[in-house]
A = this chain, B = another copy of it.
Amino acid sequence: MITSSITKKLKGIIGNDNVFDSPESRLAYSYDSSPINTQIPDLVVRPTTPEQISQIVQLANDEIFSIVPRGSGTGLSGGTLPSENSIILLTNHWNKIIEIDKENLCVWVEPGVITANLQADVEKYGFIYPPDPGSASISTLGGNVAENAGGLRGLKYGVTKNYVLGLEVVLPTGEILHTGGKSVKDVAGYNLKDILIGSEGTLGIFTKILLKIIPKPATSKTFLAFFSSMEDAARTVSAIITAKVTPSMIELLDNTTIRCVEDYTHIGLPVETAAILLIEIDGKKALVDDDAILVHEICRKHNATAIKVAQDEIESIKLKTARRSAFASLARATPTTLTEDVAVPRSEIAKLVSRISEIGKKNNIRIGTFGHAGVGNLHPNYMTDKRDKAAFARAEKSIIEVEEAAIELGGTITGEHGVGLYKKRLLEKMVGSPSMIMMRKLKQMMDPNNIMNPGKIFDLRPKCEGPLPTEREQIKKFEEVAWI
């Protein structure tokens, strides 16, 4: 419990104006973009220097309370949900782009910079920052690094970790650590940077981030290919990769997603189509033209019923914006939408698509699937209502079955959303016992009092305490302790 003495000490560190303890303030941070749980934090704090964070962390170790770092709260796995006896530590106000280094192709940013703002800023100088999670227009770069966020351009350009050159981070024991730098090659000692990237707020709080940028491609071509079956679309993806073409983007939308997106955006998608691939090719013009011809041929060979090419930049942005709205479009269609984030080797994408469809039919649950097919990463969305216990249980069962299918196909339970609270159940099954042991030891080594975002990714308790609670039991537990 955060006592009034702790609150006083926190106010002493960061000033009265940066500690929020009113019920309204706390309520505002009782949820994130994940759809199920809520939990009221004891307090919300807004530090402004690494030294302040270091002092807060040391206080948390002395007084034993938990710290949940939070950017924009756009995470989909519950990673920024408050835990019991916790304070929310905000970084989203800390939003300066500190330096754009055009000679070394990198930028120093504060953790609260919005992803899209950085993208827009570096584009002015002829660069791009490629990682682009669906939530780029509101997500923060600190959150992107904490979750190792992916996005639409992952196929050609990789994910966040491929762009993090350096970090300033406050460790769970209060030390301010600097790792990495502008030298693109560096093998001096263990790679601490990549342990911290994707650690979901459990191993430290980022206070400064050095990111790589790259020259902006000269041109790009965007088009939609329509298919009368999901399997045809999925096989087209594998065929494109096998043909040694690397589009910047291959996004897949199933019929349910197409309907919901059209219903939301009214951009004229054909709602009878079983599947759409949104494909973007970028680079020098000659190369883009050649690759586009090849990709068109492959689409036709795999029974594409039509191909629609974006006529200009505006239409291209419109198509991509429609794709980006997929999650929101599905979320508004039913009271509760649970988003999955499985990924498989690219050769297995057609099999995964079939398995998702079978599981949906078997469990009588509507699933809208879209995602980054080019990298084998799909987002099945389970459309349900958490107030309908039976329907919700069927959704829950489907999630587990789809995750198990992904593991069987050599894939992962989470390609880009992180484990957070929602994917903990199958983590050990997926990564194996030696990895789980090493992860737990790493956490205990770095955070001996378990103060940093506890209960995310995994629980520290030993196996002898029995199996972890189901999603529903977790929710129940949350509901019991929550105010609302």
Contact = CB atoms under 8 A, between A and B. Distances in A.
A476 interface: no
Nearest to A148: B187
A411 B182 CA distance: 7
B346 A103 contact: yes
Contact of A412 (B186, B194, B441): B186
Given A181-B412, A185-B150, A215-B246, A192 B438 contact: yes
A198 to B, nearest CB: 5
A190 B199 contact: yes
Given A190-B457, A197-B191, A417-B187, A179 B126 contact: no
Given A104-B346, A445-B442, A376 B414 contact: no
B346 A188 contact: no
Interface string A386-423: 00000000000000000000000011111111110001
Interface string A156-180: 0001011000000001000111110
A148 B188 CA distance: 10
Contacts of A183: 343-345, 376-377, 410-412, 415
Choose among A189, A194, A290, A414 the residue with the greatest number of B CB atoms under 10 Å from its CB: A189
A286 interface: yes
A416 B185 contact: yes
A120 interface: no
Interface stretch (A12-20, A427-435, A467-475): A427-435
A153 interface: no
Contacts of A445: 441-442, 445
How many copies of this chain does the complex contain? 2
Interface stretch (A2-10, A36-44, A236-244, A266-274): A236-244
Given A191-B195, A195-B194, A415 B186 contact: yes
Name the residue in A179, A186, A198 with the highest tally of chain B Cβ atoms < 10 Å from its Cβ: A186
Contacts of A438: 171, 177, 190, 192, 446
A413 B188 contact: yes
Given A372-B185, A437-B175, A198 B191 contact: yes
Contacts of A375: 184-185
Given A177-B438, A185-B343, A410-B183, A241 B287 contact: no
A147 interface: yes
A148 B244 CA distance: 26
B194 A431 contact: no
A241 to B, nearest CB: 7
A176 B432 CA distance: 10
A192 B132 CA distance: 24
Nearest to A106: B345
Contact of A287 (B177, B192, B287, B439): B287
| Interface magnitude class on chain A | 35 or more
A284 interface: yes
A175 B434 contact: yes
Contacts of A147: 187
Given A171-B438, A178-B432, A445-B442, A189 B457 contact: yes
A139 to B, nearest CB: 15
A353 interface: no
A39 B215 CA distance: 49
A347 to B, nearest CB: 4
Max chain B CB contacts within 10 Å: which of A126, A345, A410, A414?
A345
> Considering residues A283, A287, A431, which has the most beta carbons from chain B within 10 angstroms of its beta carbon?
A431
A194 B437 CA distance: 17
Contacts of A477: none
Q: Which of A343, A376, A411, A434 has the most CB of B within 10 A?
A: A434
A418 to B, nearest CB: 5
A247 interface: no
A445 B190 CA distance: 14
A46 to B, nearest CB: 24
B184 A376 contact: yes
A31 to B, nearest CB: 22
B182 A159 contact: no
B242 A186 contact: no
A96 interface: no
A439 B187 contact: no
B434 A188 contact: no
Contacts of A199: 190
8 contacts: A105-B346, A126-B244, A147-B187, A177-B434, A181-B412, A183-B345, A185-B372, A187-B198
**Which 5 A-B residue pairs are closest in the complex by CB-CB distance?**
A215-B244, A194-B194, A182-B345, A185-B415, A103-B347
